[in-house]
A = this chain, B = another copy of it.
């Protein structure tokens, strides 16, 4: 007798469930319900339709219901919403939004993949107005585009600086709109650390998007929004992208347990509190790979793997459920950013001791015409040296380096093991000592206490306190621009100028990207200096870190002139 499989939701998780069931069971009757007009669309690509990078909105649809039927014998029903689950009878109540009629379907096994819904705070005046949009589905982006065209919109406010908000803002800007991003926190891209994010802020600013931080929308009007600070921002359309919340309406109504984070609670096999009902994707709560605690994670990759694992369990297969580490990436104008694992904020919250290496090598052999700086932060546990996270920003191939670290994390690698890591090398792709190798060696030196360092975040304080800062670059570099108060003692001269370097106070050394300063720090250590610190990231890192807020807050810069070369 064939098994009857019902699936709620037809995007990443749901479509993956359907395809996997079919591959394991040719006889199963498979019905996939989607309340919206489309199944199997690329929700992550939606923002790129705004600029025309993805030309037609229909291109976002990966597979039509007719193809699900003809190729996979999967009955994909769009505009059909499951509105109730009757667990005792093992049936669902479905509302067909096209006919207005309701009907019942029975199931042997039910998979829930309802996704998440955009958060729209009802205390914001005007939040339900027709010129307020979210960006979750194909109709969402179609709605925004037709509205902006019909109403001759010039200014758009994007509320929320997560990855989707940033992509929406970039694509609106490219499409010719004046764009303001409004973010309530002190930084965009919450999965990355504050220090790294400043580099992206500069790119956002450079491309003419206004970025407002630490402020929130309280009121949406026809042609402007009002912020908590009282500031008014011109906007004839608003895109809300402050986050999502698991879609649990149906699960709650059916009496299924929710977890501590508000997502549907699932066991090791993605079964809900009813073993005949599985749940996957953005609606469930995941387990963190590192802390074993529950967390929300709305990513397409994990959703697909959960779908496969759930179906595999239903068909008697075992599955290693490792939990999620959280890997993501984003492109914003000329910069790429990617991260994996836990960041400093999360590590502090979890009470895990850590340290990090921050390096800025070139992403290719420096003499190649398109070699670029790659800002790379490698986070490891202390004292184990276990790899626990990484963040990268640059014009080049940042995702590659983060994927290497993600792999190392999931295989429980530590710094010592990665010391011999043999990556591919040719001058177009990397350097013989690639970014990752470089960061691992610096990390080991830190773990082994071979030198001391201060992060870029502390340099302003050092300058203000008139600390002894040595600039180890050559005189011509110093002349162009330098950290205020820094003494220029080039690496090429310091051995003859040791009398200028005091032994009785902390000394902080930097150069352009820390290569020269590191060598000076090591040498001074050998020469009996015990209070020598390398300034992480050096001039380049400090400049990138300080620039945005100097401009934004009209603050006195701690460098004489900015120089990002």
Contact = CB atoms under 8 A, between A and B. Distances in A.
- Main secondary structure on A side of the interface with B: mixed
A275 B44 CA distance: 59
Contact of A410 (B369, B397, B421, B519): B421
Given A22-B519, A71-B491, A304-B432, A44 B404 contact: no
A48 interface: yes
B59 A367 contact: yes
Interface stretch (A85-93, A329-337, A350-358, A554-562): A329-337
Contacts of A72: 519
A42 B365 CA distance: 8
A417 B423 contact: no
Nearest to A45: B427
A70 B411 contact: no
A413 B411 contact: yes
A81 interface: no
Contacts of A154: none
A91 to B, nearest CB: 27
A199 to B, nearest CB: 17
Interface residues of A, number: 95
Nearest to A300: B432
Interface stretch (A124-132, A257-265, A317-325, A455-463): A317-325
Contacts of A420: 305, 320-322, 410
Given A321-B420, A327-B424, A410-B420, 8 more contacts: A23-B519, A26-B526, A301-B423, A301-B425, A324-B422, A330-B426, A399-B424, A403-B404
Interface in A91-114: none
A495 interface: yes
Chain multiplicity (copies)? 2
A524 to B, nearest CB: 8
A336 B364 CA distance: 15
A70 B492 contact: yes
Contacts of A514: none
A468 interface: no
A452 to B, nearest CB: 15
A163 interface: yes
B300 A425 contact: yes
A60 B523 CA distance: 28
16 contacts: A22-B519, A22-B523, A26-B523, A42-B427, A44-B426, A48-B368, A54-B367, A72-B519, A301-B433, A305-B420, A308-B441, A328-B425, A329-B428, A330-B426, A399-B430, A404-B407
A59 B365 CA distance: 11
A422 B410 contact: yes
Contact of A526 (B12, B27, B412, B519): B27
Contacts of A522: 23-24, 26
A514 B481 CA distance: 57
Nearest to A421: B410
A225 interface: no
Contacts of A44: 365, 425-427, 432
Nearest to A364: B45
Nearest to A433: B304
A526 B25 contact: yes
B45 A368 contact: yes
Contacts of A325: 422
